[in-house]
Amino acid sequence: YKPLVAIVGRPNVGKSTLFNAIVKKRISIVEDIPGVTRDRIYYDAEWLNQEFTMIDTGGIEFVDSENHIFTSMRYQAELAIREADVILYVVDGKAGVQPQDEDIARILRSSGKPVILVVNKIDSVELSMNIYEFYSLGLGDPIGISAVNLMNLGDLLDEVLKHI
Ligand code: GDP
Ligand code: MG
């Protein structure tokens, strides 16, 4: 049994980029257009000799009765709550707090699962102030990272290990 670490968040916040950075292989597809991910969503990773499995819930899709493919953030969050040992809740530090972020935060807060609030797109020290508004989500101390610049991923993974 390997601990399961799930990545949850709105489209385009950088979930697949973070997933790739952690598993160090480009196996998720990163797209500029929200919702077009066709990822491999599970992958084994390790940090400091601790192995775990990552899930990018943004890659979970549904086909409805009319064959439309869609994603449901609520379902992705509920799946993460059910299956994961730790949830990485990723938000966009450039976009700021969005109404959908609050909806998902509410679901995650009531889950009782360990949730790490990850403010992505903090690409430079100048942007580091952008993390503070995310305290309003009620999920504790936000961790600012840049998935593209690989900034602060070590601190994030240290935090993950505290919960597994
Ligand atoms: P997902 O929909 O949450 O999986 O988001 P993606 O990983 O596909 O990324 C969406 C867009 O955000 C892409 O254009 C990425 O290059 C960009 N992106 C991801 N991480 C960062 C980051 O740390 N900084 C910046 N500036 N852009 C990022
Ligand atoms: Mg994605």
Q: What is the ipTM of this complex?
A: 0.99
Residues with CB under 5 A from ligand 2 (ion): 15-16, 37, 58
Is residue 14 annotated as involved in ligand binding?
yes
CA of 114 to the centre of ligand 2 (A): 22
Q: Which of 22-36, 102-116, 132-146 has the lowest mean pLDDT?
A: 22-36
Burial 31-65 (b: 16+ CB within 10 A, else e): eeeeeebebebebebebeeeebbbbbbbbbeeeee
Integer angstrom CA distances of residue 89 from 13, 68, 93, 126, 143: 10, 27, 12, 23, 10
Q: How many domains does the chain have?
A: 1
Atom of ligand 1 nearest to the CA of 32: 14
CA of 90 to the centre of ligand 1 (A): 11
CA-based max dimension of the chain: 48
More confident residue, 148 or 40: 148
pTM given for the model = 0.90
Considering the chain, what is the average pLDDT of its residues? Answer: 88
User: In angstroms, rounded to a whole number, what is the distance separating the alpha carbons of residues 56 and 54?
Assistant: 7
Does the pLDDT at position 60 exceed 90? Answer: no
To the nearest whole percent, how much of the chain has pLDDT over 70? 90
CA of 102 to the centre of ligand 1 (A): 20
- CATH code for the domain of 125: 3.40.50.300
Does the pLDDT at position 38 exceed 60? Answer: no
Instruction: Domain of residue 62: give its range.
Output: 4-162
Query: Is beta strand 42-47 parallel, antiparallel or unpaired with respect to 50-56?
Result: antiparallel
To the nearest whole percent, how much of the chain has pLDDT over 90? 66
